[in-house]
Chains A and B, each alone.
Chain A
Amino acid sequence: MGTKRTTSFYVLSFVFAAFLIFLYGPMFCVYLLSFQGPEGGMSFPMRGFSTVWFETLFTAGGRGVGDIHNSFIRSLRLGAIVALLTMLIGLAVGMSFRRRYPGGNFVFYSAIVSMIVPGIFVGFGISLTLNMLGMRPQWWYSGIGAQLTWSLPFAMLIMFIILGRMDKSYEEAATDLGANSFQRFQYVILPLILPGVIGMFMAGFTSSYEEAARAGLNIGTGNTMPMELTGLLGAATTPVMFAVGTLTTLFMFTMVIVTLLASWSLAKRRQLRLTAHHA
């Protein structure tokens, strides 16, 4: 707080460093042990280094691998659709909140309820509803629907925050210059909230990819990744699960970096176009 570092700064730095070790320690065990030698087990010491557990993973019917390839593809498919729907529906509901309207509070608090109610109840409730209606769960309606109840409230909050902080004068200037509501949206609002829109897509994808409590009972036949991994957990005796951990983390890492680069280059292109107009 002052200009000189106090003792408390060093104490707190130490606590924070310890917390990072607490977060990363187990993760590094996973990354390291995924390269365990063929004779090694799920604990240290490392008995040599090898990629044998990654090979097991990519061998069809590999031991302790279950149906992981198909689960991964199912999760990707589900995640992509949920992300897209989350982005579109979240954008729409966010735009609705730019003016006060009767029922707006109901919309807002229904999202809060959906965030607060533990996932298993939403999942169980949807599955009971299907049961009462005599319908079978299928990933493409009940699976997607169940996950939207989790991703959409977050999308709404993202829009709520980002539109709340947007400077209204840009929009007023556009209206004064004769822009209609479509032009206002396309040329003024969307560019300003683009990071939030991409954020909603990412939030939709990651929440879907991790989610099992809601989708589990409503996905129909075929596990998704978190369900399959939870199933394999109990029976795991070899480091093959750690290989899955290393690869999926790498995958998520790539996803996030690509999204960040994409939004960064989009923002830059806009900037260039704007300066070109001014020149």
Chain B
Amino acid sequence: MSSMTMSPRIASWLQATPFTLIMTCLVMVPLAIILAVSFMDYGFAEIIPEFYLGNWTDLFRSSLTVDTYATVFRQLAMVWSITLVLGFTISYYLVFHVRSNMWRAIFLAACAIPFWTSGPIRMISWVPLLGREGLVNQALFGMGLIDQPISWLLYSEFSVILVYVNMLTMAMAGPIANSMAKISPSIIQAARDQGASEWQVIQEVIIPLIKPGIVVGTIFIITAVMGDGFLVRAMSGNQMNTPAVAIMNEINAFQFPPAAAKSVVLLVIVLGMVGLLLRFVDIRKELAR
């Protein structure tokens, strides 16, 4: 790779080749294959490579499609608004209120450590807390607030949202904190000197400057919630149906072409939402800053 014998452009191409091959062959081509298969016929556990529109007509005729999307959008709205408020509050505290760098590092590490435990274990860890005989019910019972256990704490939409918030708040807080750390202290000092209150500084100075962070965090939340089937299945006790769960069920039943059609719809929606968000921020410029 000596620059004396090779032009820099060719050196760059060679360096990027393995990466680009993997992204092309294992992401781009497979996504195109999903689209192709969505127009194919199928038999029992096999794909019949003949043009067939049935997967698509079934999908648009089914009332299940609308129901699953209503469910996932409701969940997304709740998870997004909670993680946004919580993630903003935590980042704001860590960046602007914690003064010592050491404590900031310790607090950040403290937020990251629980994620070293594997996902499925973190899901099951809610059973001793929220179950019928869980700590929350025991405590409420002990205080005389209830006379029989609350059953909607676990295997319900409540537990799905709670665990999403538990797992995804840091995905929102991270990009926001990153944007906040780039704000020059002198800007905030200037606003303070002009007599702005803390709340006015947040509204007029900080929020406009952290929009890129909010956009990136929102993208993480959208892809995580829209694309997840595992968490919903585990935390709702297999009682909730989202588009991703429907796709996973069909894949498990070897019904690949209808699963492919559903995948295309979900993908177009996710990529459309993300594409819309990316119009507000230049990721490449943000990263290099």
B162 to chain A, nearest CB (A): 9
Q: Is the CB of B260 within 8 A of A252?
A: no
B16 touches A241 (CB 8 A): no
- Which of B228, B270, B283 contacts A117 (CB under 8 A)? B270
Q: Smallest Cβ distance from A193 to chain B, in angstroms?
A: 14
* Chain B residue with Cβ nearest A180: B2
Contact with B along A37-78 (1 / 0, CB 8 A): 000011110000000000000000000000000000000000
A274: Cβ under 8 A from any B Cβ = no
Whether B234 and A1, one on each chain, are in contact in the complex, defined by CB atoms closer than 8 angstroms, is no
Q: With both chains docked as a complex, state the minimum distance between the C-beta of A220 and any C-beta of chain B, in angstroms.
A: 16
Q: Do B287 and A164 have beta carbons less than 8 Å apart? A: yes
| B256 pairs with A128, CB closer than 8 A | yes
Known contacts A110-B20, A112-B283, A245-B118; is A124 also within 8 Å of B13 by CB?
no
| A29 proximity list for chain B (CB < 8 A) | 125, 128-129, 135
Instruction: In the complex, identify which listed stretch (B22-30, B50-58, B59-67, B73-81) lies at the interface while the others stay far away.
Output: B22-30
A225 interface residue, CB < 8 Å from B? yes
User: Which residues in chain A, 172-206, are within 8 Å of chain B measured between CB atoms?
Assistant: 180-182, 206
The CA-CA distance from A157 to B266 in the complex, in Å, is 26
Structural contact, A156 and B110, CB atoms closer than 8 A? no
Residues of B within 8 A of A132 (CB): 33, 37, 47
Q: Does B258 contact A (CB under 8 A)?
A: no
Evaluate contact between B27 and A117: CB separation under 8 angstroms: yes
- Point out the residues of chain A lying under 8 angstroms from B31, CB to CB: 117, 121-122, 125
Instruction: Contact check, A233 vs B120: say whether CB atoms are below 8 A apart.
Output: yes
From residue A199, how far is it (CB to closest CB) to chain B in Å? 13
Are A149 and B121 touching (Cβ within 8 A)? no
Does B259 sit within 8 A of A, measured CB to CB? yes
Residues on the B chain within 8 Å of A212, using CB: 230
Instruction: Evaluate contact between A117 and B15: CB separation under 8 angstroms.
Output: no
Which of chain B's residues have a CB closer than 8 A to the CB of A128? 30, 33-34, 37, 47, 256, 260
Chain A residues with CB under 8 Å of B29's CB are 125, 129
Tally chain B residues at the interface, Cβ within 8 Å: 92
Q: How far is the CB of B3 from chain A (nearest CB, A)?
A: 5
Most buried by A among B1, B118, B228, B283: B118
Residues in A1-55 with C-beta less than 8 Å from chain B: 1-2, 6, 8-9, 12-13, 15-16, 19-20, 22-27, 29-30, 33, 41-44
Interface string of B201-232 (1 = CB under 8 A from A): 00000000000000000010001101111100
In the assembled complex, the CB of A133 is this many whole angstroms from the nearest CB of chain B, namely: 10
* CB of B181 closer than 8 Å to a CB of A: no
> Are B230 and A1 closer than 8 Å at their CB atoms?
no
- Given A1-B96, A30-B117, A213-B230, is A124 in contact with B34 using a C-beta cutoff of 8 Å? yes
Closest beta carbon of chain A to B219's beta carbon, Å? 7
Residues of B within 8 Å of A99, CB to CB, are: 8-9, 12
The answer to whether A275 has its CB under 8 Å from any CB of chain B is no
- Which chain B residues have a beta carbon within 8 Å of chain A's beta carbons? 1-4, 8-9, 11-16, 18-20, 22-31, 33-34, 37, 47, 86, 89-90, 92-94, 96-97, 107, 110-111, 113-114, 116-129, 131, 133-135, 138, 166, 169, 188, 192, 198, 219, 223-224, 226-230, 234, 244, 247-248, 251, 256, 259-260, 263, 266-267, 270-271, 274, 283-284, 287-288
A-B CB contact pairs (8 Å), 16 listed = A1-B198, A2-B192, A16-B89, A16-B93, A27-B122, A113-B27, A121-B266, A125-B27, A125-B29, A128-B47, A128-B256, A145-B22, A152-B23, A161-B287, A181-B2, A242-B125
10 A-B pairs with least C-beta separation: A118-B227, A125-B30, A26-B125, A96-B15, A245-B121, A229-B120, A93-B19, A252-B116, A110-B23, A101-B12
